Structure 1
């Protein structure tokens, strides 16, 4: 779907809330100071992309019309002044656009802040790499930056087969933790395949699995990826005195008494903040460098939906996502 005109490109435009995407010819960006111009090969499709498209993602600060898409993998075309970490031809990936007024990744090209990027894993495909950044950064910030996960700990991940959850399980395992993960019965085989002890959240109570796996003491780290009642359950699953609960969806109103009575602590993760506020972006690039190391060491494999989509069929991907029918991360093959 390459355009012949080197000054323009094709992109998906979300024109207004709930309207389908339309392929539009727009001006091709150039790399300004501190930026990298990337030819996008693949773009991840996230739940937040769909919320913005349907007018429900106000916290992302991305008014419509806009080019959406947050995650990508691609090839560096040019670098702006002051950029020394990358050169033309490098294969890179990152969480780099689609919110905070930034151009998204549902386009043939984009100029990204170089601080947000890293060289992609050589062991993963473009599709696999494009599926990871948002979810990996969210998992890493919770487990490593907030909770200081380390060897010998017992870690509970709620939603162990989910986008953030399956990467959180693998990160915790890579750090030497003993990992447990909740899910449905249909997800048991996958959760066990990535090294976690499976907990059927429908068939057992919090008290039962805390008693069974921790002798009633609680888990050292509990990562809630679901919010709501699951976050409340996390408060009573944390270890007495030293337990730490992390949530990437702690946006509701919750009673902290159960957590306080255990002497445990809590942290919230808001992955979008550096992109929206323009502060701390370098750390996102550093986190993606860690993802590359783990993947190339054979310790990290993302779960990607096998179905293929292009810019022309991206609306189908969003329909699947909205209906909860994705099996892993959906990815758009931007370069056909």
Structure 2
């Protein structure tokens, strides 16, 4: 293959599987760095985009998908700062809006969106983190201000965002409860949170058992729908904060208002779509890398091996729920 070309998995038509193509290798323009991609994390959003069911992601075909990346800087354009050739980096760099994604051998990335990779993690493990870690951070720290002594409830504590949120809240000194069912309850326990089986326990029951009826200081909803409604009834009066990453439906705010509590939403894609606040994503990932290297946060990664030729198969595994942790595609070694 020519040094001027690369392999990339391209979504050519919404509703059809992405296909492997040989395309021109990007040349980093001003304020960009060229990253040789080692691994690309797969998020449920990737599948929604592929299916044409994510208008909010503002993707036009043909497009290179892949939001999360881990790799090595191989070229730095004039005007770029913070990284040098040879640096191992990770970030949430594209795959939405007009930014090309990471399902390619190389990507010209905005360095503001990158951070140095956690030393303790492999490339595959690092590629599993950016979207979920940034989302958890924006929810718990930027919106809810989680601090030592807080009583936190994470809905979906074994999920992609949920299992990082549990670890992040514990790292900040909070006491954490998390909802789940079946096998996920043991995983939640292993992360250091108290598991709540939402299929057998009502909101009133677990609020009474965990908080003496007072409610949680912070409730993080990662599920949306009825779970967000349940969150409004589980939060502490006056000072409680509910944060949702999927608050897109129609909900009655009356239960929240009657408790005098507050609500915030998180839309992690905004910096990628608008260009505003990109530096904060890099700052978050730098802080997350420190927590990872200190042993506070470890991502769950599905052990199945996928490559650029297996993207459709990886997407099916995410859709079917057969994965055991975050699905990651190895792009090149």
Range into which the TM-score falls when normalised by the shorter chain = over 0.9
Q: 2:137 aligns with which of 140, 150, 169?
A: 140
161, 164, 167: which is aligned to 1:167? 164
Counterpart-to-counterpart distance in 2, 1:278 and 1:250: 23
- What corresponds to 1:301 in structure 2? 298
Q: Distance between the aligned counterparts of 2:311 and 2:81, measured in 1?
A: 34
- Comparing 35-44 with 24-33, greater Cα deviation is found at 24-33
Which position in structure 2 is the counterpart of 1:320? 317
Q: In the alignment, does 2:40 pair up with 1:19?
A: no
Partner Cα separation in structure 1 for residue 151 and residue 78 of structure 2? 46
The 5-angstrom pairing of residues 151-300 of structure 1 reads: 151-300=148-297
Structure 2: state its 5+ residue gaps: none
Deviations 1:237-267 (A, max 9, x none): 0001000000000000100000000000000
Residue 308 of structure 2 corresponds to 311
For 2:320 and 2:13, locate their aligned partners in 1 and report how far apart those are by CA, in whole Å: 20
**TM-score, normalized by length of structure 2?**
0.99
Deviation at 1:185, TM superposition (A): 2.3
Q: CA–CA distance in 2 between the matches of 1:101 and 1:85? A: 23
1:286 is paired with a residue whose SS is helix
Q: Say whether residues 1:54 and 2:57 are aligned partners.
A: no
Q: CA deviation at 1:17?
A: 1.4
The answer for the alignment partner of 1:8 in structure 2 is 5
* Structure 2 residue aligned with 1:116: 113
Separation of aligned partners in 2, 1:294 and 1:116: 18
Query: Would the aligned equivalents of 2:81 and 2:111 in 1 still touch at CA under 8 Å?
Result: no
Deviations 1:91-128 (A, max 9, x none): 00000010011101000000000000000000011001
SS at match of 2:132: helix
Measured against aligned partners, the alpha-carbon deviations of 1:38-83 in whole angstroms (never above 9, x if no partner) come to 0000000111110010110110001121110000100000111222
Number of residue equivalences: 333
Q: Root-mean-square deviation (CA), in Å? A: 0.7
Q: Distance in 1 between matches of 2:293 and 2:25?
A: 33
3-state SS of paired residue (2:33): strand
Task: Point out 4+ residue stretches in structure 1 off by more than 4 angstroms.
Answer: none
- Alpha-carbon displacement from aligned partner over 1:164-212 (angstroms, at most 9, x marks no partner): 0000000000000000000012111111111100000001000000000
2:326 to 318, 321, 329: 329
Q: Distance in 2 between matches of 1:116 and 1:80?
A: 15
CA displacement, residues 1-50 of structure 1 (integer Å, 9 cap, x when unaligned): xxx31111000011111212211111111111111100000000111110
Corresponding residue number in structure 1 for 2:35 = 38
* Deviation of the 1:84 alpha carbon: 2.2
Structure 2 CA distance, aligned partners of 1:21 and 1:141?
A: 31
Query: What residue ranges of structure 1 are gaps of 5+ in the alignment?
Result: none
SS in 2 for 1:6: coil
Counterparts of 2:77 and 2:188, CA distance in 1: 43
SS in structure 2 at match of 1:34: coil
